[in-house]
Structure 1
Amino acid sequence: MEILNKYLDTYSLGTKVKNTAMADERRAGEQNVDEEINDSPIEEVRLTVPITDDPTLPVLTFRTWLLGIVACALLAFMNQFFGYRNNQLTISAISAQIVVLPLGKLMAATLPTRNFHVPFTNLSFSLNPGPFNLKEHVLITIFANCGANSVYAVNIVTIVKAFYRKSLNPIAAYLLVQTTQMMGYGWAGLFRKFLVDSPYMWWPSNLVQVSLFRALNERESRRKGGMTRLQFFLAVFISSFAYYLIPGYFFPAISSLSFMCWIWKDSITMQQIGSAVSGLGIGSFAFDWSAVAGFLGSPLATPGFAIINMMIGFVLFLYILVPIGYWTNSYNAKRFPLFSSHVFTTNGTAFTLTKSWIRKHSLLARKDITVLAQSV
């Protein structure tokens, strides 16, 4: 009997050791899995993007659809409207990201919570499923992102109406715009595996929005003598909004300042070299942020290697090839302005389209129409 008890004790001890070892191995495996999931190859992504998730949060709510569609429509209209400015003013989705947060919280505090049934179906929904959450905020911003970018096909409609002075059927214009947009989203879906899903294909501008999401939705304790991310964001936001009134309304001249044009006011060559509007812009500067970020986006969110890459191409083309071609009078370049978006005849006069000219002539038959080399 004593031998049997010793055997049972030994077996029980071995089982416990084995179970403990298996549990430790399972926890180690889970830890390795977590580390593998959490370990992004891009340091900026690891430091910015959280990996936590709450699957119980509602996402496709009434607030999401209403605020998302409104934000998409407003940004699409405003960016297309301001895109006709000389220095185009771009309203990014970050603006909608900021505005929809108080609106979402207001809807969560005021809308009724009871369920509404869709007639003739078993579907029901609530106008207010609970507190406004981070997932709703993100999805609404995705809606806004879809409308934040201008549509290239609208340029075709603009050219037909503004330059050819022809009327265009609204249905035809609508189908043109929608067709090109759907093709773009289709190509994006086809290349999603390579351009989005890959952990090495990161999009730096999106990290700005992720940081803002965390600043607006996460609670953060303020260190003594310091600022939370939300406080810092609000300070910068209010300061930039107040400053924009100066170049935007009170003193637009600071959007383009050139010392060369001031010193040599009567020199055409100096105007071509120093003017930031119709010249190379050498020695000119601006105090208007839209002049800096209006075309290629904010340099604050762009990595240094991308800025250097664009800068090399810019300097090579604008400051080397264009001056050489212009001042060596290649293809009679000196007959035309250094920079212009207009069309000219070969003798240097501006070419203007009229309805009567279009009816009598064909552009393909004209041999004396040209555009500037730097506009091609």
Structure 2
Amino acid sequence: MNISLLNNSNDDDEQSPYEEVAANISNKDDPTILCLTFRSVFIGILLTCIMSIVSQFFNYRTSPLDINIGLVILLSYMMGEFMSKILPEKFFNITINPGSFSMKEHALITIMATTGTSTVGPIDIITVQRIYYNYYVDHVNAMLFIIVMHLLAFSIAGILKRYLVWPASMIWPKALMTCCLIRTLDIESKIETNKTRWKMTRSKFFWLIVLFQFIWYWFPGYIFPLLSMFSFICMIAPHNIIFSQITGANGLGLGAIGFDWNACIAFFGSPILVPFW
């Protein structure tokens, strides 16, 4: 069967067989909605730089800081709505504010900023060589190594997209959550809120959660670090090496309990996004 390189099929009615995907992801496109605007480029580059610096800085912690995609989506949404209200329509005959903040702009910003929420593997390789093998790689070779690995990954993704992205039967739980949240924010912004029982704005709710997280993290992060991850079973025989490796928090963690959410999702991602298949 001859499959064209570009997906030029006119079959817009292809729908996902999964109800969760079909109910939240539209298979129609509105070409009149703007995507590449001054707002999307500015906010996307700004958040990409901030997220990449923060994620790399905290990557060397015992429990690396996990920057959730939801945080990026909410921040970009608030920044986009703010810029759509304060920016003039044109600046030196250049349109910088074409109107209301669109869902496509939001999606483009999220795609750009998400690339900086996690570190890249080649940096870990360079770090291990320097610390454990006393082998120093100069900055030019290190940058070229990182770029080559990225280009290789993008090439493989481009080859496999016709099998893993284009078919409607493909489902990606983490990407589905991102699309659902972006679509929800766009739809709810057009609905009158005075008809609902929920009186608190999304921005206020978001900042309340941020405040609660900030206060709570002082306990496992500074005041009582044992809350981050501990094992009562390991305390039965703390001098037994094999038993400690099986039940210890730094071992297999059998029976370990943690109250630091970041310690739970630092290496394996959030279990909430992926269903129990």
Q: Please give the range of the TM-score, normalised by the shorter of the 2 chains.
A: 0.7 to 0.9
Q: 2:82 aligned with 1:102, yes or no?
A: no
Letter in 1 for 2:275: P
TM-score by length of 1: 0.63
Residue by residue, what CA displacement relative to the aligned partner does 1:112-135 show, whole Å, maximum 9, x if unpaired? Answer: 322546xxxxxxx32222222211
Letter paired with 2:84: A
Match of 1:282 among 245, 254, 261: 254
> Which residue in the other structure is 1:211 paired with?
180
Deviation at 1:86, TM superposition (A): 1.7
Q: Partner letter of residue 187 of structure 2? A: E
User: 2: distance between equivalents of 1:91 and 1:275?
Assistant: 26
The answer for the alignment partner of 2:171 in structure 1 is 202
Deviation at 1:164, TM superposition (A): 2.7
Per the alignment, residue 291 of structure 1 pairs with: 263
Q: Equivalent residue for 2:47?
A: 71
Separation of aligned partners in 2, 1:227 and 1:200: 38
- Amino acid in structure 1 at the alignment position of 2:253: G
2:69·2:114 contact (CA, 8 Å) conserved in 1?
A: yes
Structure with larger RCO (C-alpha < 8 A, sep 6+): 2
Percent of residue pairs bearing the same amino acid type:
33
Task: Work out which of the residue numbers 220, 232, 238 in structure 2 matches 1:259.
Answer: 232
Of the three residues 101, 111, 125, the one matched with 1:156 is: 125
Number of aligned residue pairs: give it: 263
Alpha-carbon distance in structure 1 between the residues aligned to 2:51 and 2:118: 8
138-147 or 264-273: which moved more? Answer: 264-273
| Contact persistence 2:52–2:118 (CA under 8 A) | yes
How far is the alpha carbon of 1:197 from its aligned partner? 0.4
Aligned with 1:287: secondary structure? coil
Out of 16, 22, 32, the position equivalent to 1:56 is 32
Aligned ranges 1:1-376 → 2 under 5 Å: 36-37=13-14, 39-51=15-27, 53-116=29-92, 125-219=94-188, 220=191, 221=193, 230=202, 234=206, 239-277=212-250, 279-305=251-277
* CA distance in 2 between partners of 1:226 and 1:61 (Å): 33
Residue 280 of structure 1 aligns to a residue whose secondary structure is: coil
Q: Which has the larger radius of gyration?
A: 1
Pair 1:289–1:101, CA change in 2 (3 A) = same
Q: In structure 1, how many angstroms separate the alpha carbons of the residues matched to 2:202 and 2:86?
A: 25
Please report how far the alpha carbon of residue 244 of structure 1 lies from its aligned counterpart in structure 2 after TM superposition.
3.3
- Paired residues of 2:81 and 2:101 also in contact (CA < 8 A): yes
Q: Which amino acid aligns with 1:291?
A: A
Question: Within 2, Cα distance between the matches of 1:242 and 1:200?
Answer: 43
Q: Counterpart of 1:247 in 2: which secondary structure?
A: helix
- Aligned-residue Cα RMSD (Å) equals 2.7
Structure 1 residues 236 and 214 mapped into 2: Cα distance closer, same or farther (>3 Å)?
farther
Q: Deviations over 1:296-316 (max 9, x none)?
A: 2111111212xxxxxxxxxxx
Deviation of residue 185 (structure 1)? 0.7
The alpha carbon displacement at 1:282 in A equals 1.8
Distance change (3 Å), C-alpha of 1:47 and 1:230: farther
Once structures 1 and 2 are overlaid, which stretch shifts more, 141-150 or 240-249?
240-249
Deviates more, 1:222-231 or 1:286-295: 222-231
Q: Deviations over 1:158-215 (max 9, x none)?
A: 1222223343211111110011001111111111100100111110111211222133
More helix by share: 1
Q: 1:230 to 1:115 in 2, by over 3 A?
A: closer
Given that residues 79 and 91 in structure 1 are in contact (C-alpha distance below 8 angstroms), is that contact kept between their aligned partners in structure 2? yes
Name the CA distance, whole Å, in 2 between partners of 1:84 and 1:282.
Answer: 25
The residue identity in structure 1 corresponding to 2:216 is Y
Query: What amino acid is aligned across from residue 111 of structure 1 in structure 2?
Result: L
Note closer, same or farther for the CA distance 1:164–1:269 as it changes in structure 2 (3 Å cut). closer
Gaps (5+ residues) in structure 1?
A: 1-32, 118-124, 306-376
Letter aligned with residue 162 of structure 1: I
What secondary structure is seen at the aligned counterpart in 1 of 2:170? coil
- Contact 1:112–1:127 under 8 Å retained in 2: yes
